[in-house]
């Protein structure tokens, strides 16, 4: 009685193997086998994803694919590549699954001869297309060096893939490196006050309000120091200093919290990160009794970050009651670099820990470990170029190559690399920018390791030319 069943199973298995061996074509023998379909209400990122796919397929196979809105499409038209949140995609990806992908995550799969690129509506579909193009052999090594394979036939991916970047925020500051087009392809999504932010047509950048030293922007000393001297830091000589603030002052806390809340309301909540952070070179914190007592309760008299976190929590809690997704971003930098004890940052606080980071006994790595006990959300601000002179033909590629995987393993959610910063740097800024961005996407099964080895070879090759 079991024999016919075994034969039946074997038959299904053989049919399945035969079916799996037949590829679905996007182009075959110089002809299109699919058309591209966009949602009727396509987002800018979805439209850009479709154009990137169309343009690259043209260069790869010499075939121009038709691109239409879903309203013009029917199954009778033939197989399609559905990009973004089409009505067709809703049969296979629920709203809950889509929301779980965030802004940048994506899912690529084939069903019934059609190919689906579904992702977060800002940049997810773009990243899905980029990963697929990379699987065909496309490489964007630098803004002016791209490798595009020439293929007779272009086939749909044999296996589905799903990915949500572990790093929400990936940014770099190499003035001589990027074009916005290239940054989008490298999955850079940051906007830390630099010139290079992705246009809305490219899905837009992560929205970050203010640069990374914002206390003086939120509370300009020129307008406030004479009116509210108690808002500013008390120094050991008994005088108030306009360089930093008295972060435990209740009136100051409420002033800053209400100001940030009003600004976020005015921006209709379209804010990812809002900087509430110490001034650069401001001269340290406040020595008043209240600030000192707070530090003593959370690590000791020099635990300056206790004041920072307590202050940031107040602002974050106020804003979070109305806008829970907005992250209030602050610095662990200079005199606030060490983590406080027995205090937790609120869930909507993002702490940016500054320094050069690596694995093992590196003191900065220990710093990140200590901060991970305080804050759920950690961003790393690191230095990828030479601080001795941005013009040096030197890229800190050894450290960069190590620290991105290390940061991912240690739960870091955001990554920012200061490269040539204020200068233009040397030509090596370009190859240095590549591993920063590529690592920032995080490991992708079957692709990351090989790509990294290749990138390191490119870097070494350039160094041999330059040194």
State the residues that interact with Zn ion by CB under 5 A: 246, 286, 288, 291
Could you tell me the smallest distance in angstroms from the CB atom of residue 275 to Zn ion?
Answer: 21
Closest contact distance (angstroms) between CB of 289 and Zn ion is: 8
Nearer to Zn ion, 284 or 440 (CB): 284
Tokens of 423: 């200068």
Side-chain half-sphere exposure of 190, counting CA atoms within 13 A: 30
| Residues in the chain, overall count | 467
CB of 287 to Zn ion, least distance (A): 7
Q: Closest distance between Zn ion and the C-beta of residue 371, in Å? A: 23
Cα 162 to Cα 146: distance, rounded to the nearest angstrom: 25
Tokens of 123: 């940049």
For residue 109, what are the β-bridge partners? 116
Q: In this complex, which beta carbon is closest to Zn ion, that of residue 206 or of residue 249?
A: 249
Between residues 203 and 284, which has the closer beta carbon with respect to Zn ion? 284
User: C-beta of 283: minimal distance to Zn ion in Å?
Assistant: 14
Which residue number, 246 or 261, has a Cβ lying nearer to Zn ion?
246
Nearest-approach distance from CB 219 to Zn ion, in angstroms: 14
CB of 402 to Zn ion, least distance (A): 40
Q: Indicate the residue among 288 and 367 with the shorter CB distance to Zn ion.
A: 288
Nearer Cβ to Zn ion, position 144 or 237? Answer: 237
Closer residue to Zn ion in complex, CB, 246/351: 246
In whole angstroms, the minimum distance from the beta carbon of 176 to Zn ion comes to: 43
Encoding tokens for residue 399?
């450290």
Cβ nearer to Zn ion, comparing 246 with 306: 246
Distance CA 465, CA 307 (A): 50
336 phi and psi, to 5 degrees?
-105, 15
Q: How far is the CB of 288 from Zn ion (least distance, A)?
A: 3
- Please say which residue, 286 or 331, places its beta carbon nearer to Zn ion: 286
Buried b (16+ CB within 10 A) or exposed e, 124-153: bbbbbbbbbbbbbebbbbbbeeeeeeeeee
Nearer to Zn ion, 38 or 288 (CB): 288
In the complex, minimum distance from the CB of residue 290 to Zn ion, in angstroms, rounded to a whole number: 5
Identity of the residue, 177 or 288, whose beta carbon is nearer to Zn ion in the bound complex: 288
Least Å distance, CB 234 to Zn ion, is 6
Sign for the CA dihedral angle at 218, 221, 227, 230 comes to positive
Pairing relationship of beta strands 114-119 and 106-111 according to DSSP bridges: antiparallel
């Amino acid at each position: 009685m079991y024999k016919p069943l075994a034969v039946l199973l074997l038959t299904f298995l053989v049919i399945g193997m035969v079916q799996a061996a037949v590829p679905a074509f996007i182009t075959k023998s110089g002809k299109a086998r699919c058309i591209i379909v966009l949602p009727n209400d396509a987002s800018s990122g979805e439209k850009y994803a479709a154009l990137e796919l169309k343009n690259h397929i043209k260069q790869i196979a010499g075939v121009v694919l038709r691109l239409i809105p879903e309203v013009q499409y029917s199954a009778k038209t033939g197989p399609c590549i559905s990009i973004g949140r089409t009505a067709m995609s809703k049969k296979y990806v629920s709203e809950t699954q889509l929301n779980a992908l965030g802004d940048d995550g994506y899912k690529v799969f084939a069903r019934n001869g059609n190919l689906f690129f579904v992702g977060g509506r800002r940049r997810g579909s773009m990243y899905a297309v980029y990963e697929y193009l990379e699987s065909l052999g496309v490489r964007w090594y630098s803004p002016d060096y791209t490798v595009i394979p020439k293929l007779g036939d272009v086939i749909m991916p044999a296996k589905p893939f799903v990915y949500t970047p572990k790093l929400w925020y990936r940014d770099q500051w190499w003035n001589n490196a990027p074009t916005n087009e290239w940054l989008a392809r490298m999955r850079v999504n940051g906007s830390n006050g630099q010139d290079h932010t992705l246009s809305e047509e490219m899905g837009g950048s992560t929205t970050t309000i203010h640069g990374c030293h914002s206390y003086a922007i939120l509370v300009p000393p020129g307008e406030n120091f004479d009116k509210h001297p108690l808002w500013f830091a008390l120094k050991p000589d008994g005088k108030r200093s306009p360089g930093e603030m008295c972060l435990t002052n209740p009136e100051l806390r409420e002033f800053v919290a209400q100001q940030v809340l009003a600004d976020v309301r005015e921006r209709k909540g379209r804010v990812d990160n809002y900087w509430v952070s110490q001034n650069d070179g401001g001269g340290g914190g406040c020595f008043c009794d209240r600030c000192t007592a707070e530090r003593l309760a959370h690590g000791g008299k020099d635990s300056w970050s206790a004041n920072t976190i307590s202050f940031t929590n107040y602002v974050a809690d106020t804003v979070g009651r109305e806008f829970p997704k907005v992250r209030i971003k602050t610095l662990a930098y200079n005199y606030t670099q060490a983590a406080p004890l027995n205090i937790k940052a609120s869930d909507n606080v993002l702490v940016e820990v500054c320094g050069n980071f690596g694995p093992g006994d590196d003191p900065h790595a220990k710093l990140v470990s200590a901060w991970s006990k305080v804050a759920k959300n950690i961003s790393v601000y690191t230095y990828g170029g030479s601080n001795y002179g941005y013009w040096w033909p030197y890229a800190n590629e050894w450290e960069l190559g190590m620290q991105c995987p290390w940061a991912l393993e240690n739960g870091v959610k955001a990554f920012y690399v200061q490269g040539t910063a204020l200068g233009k740097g040397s030509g090596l800024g370009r190859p240095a920018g590549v591993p920063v961005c590529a690592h920032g996407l995080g490991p992708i099964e079957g692709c990351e390791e090989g790509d990294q080895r290749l990138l390191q070879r490119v870097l070494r090759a350039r160094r041999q030319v330059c040194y």
